[in-house]
Amino acid sequence: MQASRPPGRFVRLEGGHVDELMALRAAKAQELRDAGIDPYPLRTARTHTAAEIAALVDGLAEGEAEVKGIDADVAGRVVAKRDMGKATFIDLQDGSGRVQVLLRQNALADYDTLRLIDLGDFIGVHGVPMRTRTGQATVAATSWAMLTKALHAPPEKFHGLSDAETRQRRRYLDLMANEETRRVFTIRSRVVAAIRRFLDARGFLEVETPILQESESGAAARPFYTHFNALDEDRVLRISLELHLKRLVIGGFERVYEIGRNFRNEGMSFKHNPEFTMIETYEAYTDYLGVAEMVEQMVSSVAEDVLGTTKITFRDMEIDLKAPWRRVTFLDAMKEYGGPDLDVFTTADALRDELRKRGVDAPTTAGYGKLCDEAMSHYVEPNLVQPTFLLDYPVELSPLAKRKPGNDRLVERFECFMAGFECGNAYTELNDPIEQRARFEQQLALKEAGDDEVELVDEDFLFALEHGMPPTGGFGMGIDRLIMLLTGQPSIREVILFPPLKSLKE
RNA sequence: GGGCCUGUAGCUCAGCGGUAGAGCAGUGGACUUUUAAUCCAUUGGUCGAGAGUUCGAAUCUCUCCGGGCCUACCA
């Protein structure tokens, strides 16, 4: 297998095997040194990017072949080399795109040295922007310089790099070879920046809270464990941002958000990665409906900002992110999509029996909340293709959310869905410390009944809450999933630069 | 975790019981407007690893190691 071979760090590998291609390139680097040329010079001057050269040449009048009076320095990676004998064309790739350079024997004193240029090297070229007979923007070189000698060949120039493992394990090769990969991660960066602009403009403060925590909180998930040497205490990596951000609202920061990595020691799938990026926002003096308005505004305006449209395609689904989004209650949606009527099946046993009758998986250890969630995932979730807020969840499923007035069984909570999966979650935050304690204790009871994915009692948080948290709307969203949607990537691993892989055996 | 598929040259892939192949990259040669440059010649492989079946295994079987897709659970 290609990717399990350790990259040739040394020309001579174990067993006396020589990486000949690498040895050849190393010899060319040495040849440059012998000629007094540093194959890794400290710096270079660049005056124009590839895109700027293209624009200059585009601006040429009809019949003009050269951009007169311009001396350009371009620099980039050699991605194609066409040796015509006494003239050589090289395509350079830089951050803005590609530019062709033309090196001719009668224009260069060191034309012979071009044989020391390989695909993958970085070179700089000084010359005049011009247009070839076929109209191609080109820099006609009057001199050139080696900027970085590469010791390995880049991926195949036409078919590129497609092996999924190599693409993930050596993302630099993927970025070199695949424009689509560059596009996805450029969009990712711009989306996160646009989210920050959106929230900053609304008066939110961006904060950072601990990743190493005493115990997991804010969600129900298995954590990663580690040890804090200086304190000689065990720690867990956080599974959510929630409880620390609420402490800040208690402290008086009325609008806070954090964009950060969460860690859940659970399975991987097209929409799950053990470390993933969440955004959570907390806003005092609003509720879950206020949050819903903010979320649909945020996502649609970010899409408009970054993509120039709110219409996206994901796994052949045409989705329009334009606000407002559909709102439907959990119970109504369940009825609408043929699930059990939760006004009828109001206990765990009744609901479990009904689900089993319908052939839906209903574990004996699951409480009422889990079973509702199970039923929703089965009947409702796959049908929510256009952005939808699912409102008012069963209380058992949501220990941190405030009850709905007039209905003790429900809480003010929404999850938002699109393309058939969940991508956000919000509550009117529970701020009654006595009830919060009771809800934690109910979770404990579920744990004793065999459900190992429950919220733990957090005494330190309860103590904070006892000091008073104003009415607050909170929200969380998986950034990776949002990026999947906005870039049309069907797998979370395609939107994570370095997704986890098994280590290579020596 | 379960099912299906997959691993062959640096890269992209063919070969599927009978002496390891092609294109690109590399090397040598021709060519001063090419752009997947072209043309001639040529180097390069523990066919993921191990065991087995066989006169003979890249090919069949088993085990292991990697990877992908579908599927079940946490966002």
Residue A358 scores a pLDDT above 90: no
Determine the pLDDT at residue A37.
94
The average confidence (pLDDT) of chain A is 90
Name residues whose C-beta falls within 8 Å of residue A463's C-beta, 6 or more positions apart in sequence: none
Q: What span, in angstroms and rounded, lies between the C-alpha atoms of A182 and A168?
A: 13
More confident residue, A108 or A363: A108
Which of residues 386-415 of A have CB within 7 Å of strand B?
415
Residue-level pLDDT at A471? 98
Instruction: Kindly report, residue by residue over A47-89, the tens digit of the pLDDT.
Output: 999 999 999 999 998 888 899 889 999 999 999 999 999 999 9
pLDDT of residue A219: 83
The nucleotide lying nearest A107 (C-alpha to C1') is B32
Q: Per residue in A374-426, pLDDT tens?
A: 889 888 988 899 999 999 999 988 899 999 999 999 999 999 999 888 889 99
- Cβ-based contacts (< 7 Å) between A 353-372 and strand B: 361, 370
Q: Kindly report the CA angle at A218 between A447 and A437, in degrees rounded to 5? A: 65
Where does the pLDDT of residue A316 fall: very low under 50, low under 70, confident under 90, or very high at 90 and above?
Answer: confident
A244's enclosing H/E stretch is helix A242-251
Q: How far is the CA of A164 from the C1' of B63 (A)?
A: 26
Type and span of the H or E element at A355 = helix A348-357
Distances (CA, A) of A198 to A143, A301, A305, A324, A417: 47, 8, 10, 17, 21
**pLDDT recorded at residue A505:** 56
State the pLDDT at residue A311. Answer: 95
pLDDT of residue A356: 84
A283 touches strand B (CB under 7 A): no
What is the average pLDDT across A474-490?
93
pLDDT given at position A212: 94
ipTM of the complex: 0.89
Q: Which nucleotide is nearest to A422 (CA to C1')?
A: B75
Q: What is the pLDDT of residue A160?
A: 85
pLDDT of residue A11: 45
Q: How many whole angstroms separate alpha carbon A352 and alpha carbon A303?
A: 41
DSSP-based three-state secondary structure for A33: helix
Give percent of chain A above pLDDT 70.
95
- With 70 as the cut, is the pLDDT of residue A228 above it? yes
- For the ranges A169-173, A324-328, A502-506, the lowest mean pLDDT is seen at A502-506
Per-residue pLDDT tens for A305-314?
Answer: 999 999 998 8
Q: Indicate yes or no: strand B within 7 A of the C-beta of A295.
A: no
Q: Between A491 and A506, where is the model more confident?
A: A491
Contacts of A159 (CB under 8 A, 6+ apart): none
Give residue A452's identity as a one-letter amino acid code.
D
pLDDT average, residue stretch A241-269: 94
Mean local confidence (pLDDT), A326-334: 94
The Cα A455–Cα A450 span in angstroms is: 13
Which protein residue's Cα is closest to nucleotide B74 at C1'?
A221
How long is the CA A281 to C1' B65 vector, in angstroms? 44
Closest-lying nucleotide for A131 based on CA to C1': B33
Please state the rounded mean pLDDT for residues A127-145.
95
Distance A120 CA to B5 C1' (A): 34
Given this model, what pLDDT does residue A164 score?
Answer: 85
pLDDT, tens digit (0-9, with 9 covering 90-100), for A82-135: 999 999 999 999 999 999 999 999 999 999 999 999 999 999 999 999 999 999
Q: What's the CA A417/C1' B71 distance, rounded, in angstroms?
A: 21
Helix (H) or strand (E) holding A482: helix A479-487
pLDDT at A10 over 60: no
The average pLDDT across A466-492 equals 94
Residue A334: phi and psi, rounded to 5, are -60, -45
> In which band, very low, low, confident or very high, does the pLDDT at A5 lie, cut at 50, 70 and 90?
very low
Cis peptide preceding A154, ω within 30 of 0:
no
Sequence-distant (≥ 6) Cβ neighbours of residue A470 within 8 angstroms = A249, A254, A284, A285, A431
- Which protein residue's Cα is closest to nucleotide B39 at C1'? A84
In this predicted structure, what is the pLDDT of residue A169? 86
CA–C1' A46–B40 (A) = 40
Q: Count CB neighbours of A445 within 10 A.
A: 11
- What pLDDT, on a 0 to 100 scale, did the predictor assign at position A447? 79
Confidence of residue A9 (pLDDT cuts 50, 70, 90): very low
The residues of A between 296 and 335 with beta carbon within 7 Å of nucleic strand B are none
Supply the pTM of this predicted model: 0.92
Judged against a pLDDT cut of 90, whether residue A15 lies above it is answered with no
The CA–C1' separation of A259 and B25, in angstroms, is 43
- Which structure tokens are listed for A249? 């609202």
Q: Out of A10-19, A268-277, A442-451, pick the least confident.
A: A10-19
Name which residue leads in pLDDT, A62 or A136. Answer: A136
Return the closest-CA partner of residue A473 out of A253, A205, A261, A246: A246
Q: Is the CB of A266 under 7 A from strand B?
A: yes
* Contact flag, residue A238 CB and nucleic strand B, below 7 A: no
Q: Report the candidate in A334, A366, A328, A361 with the shortest Cα–Cα distance to residue A347.
A: A366
Distance, angstroms, CA A506 to C1' B66? 13
CB A22 within 8 A of CB A7: no
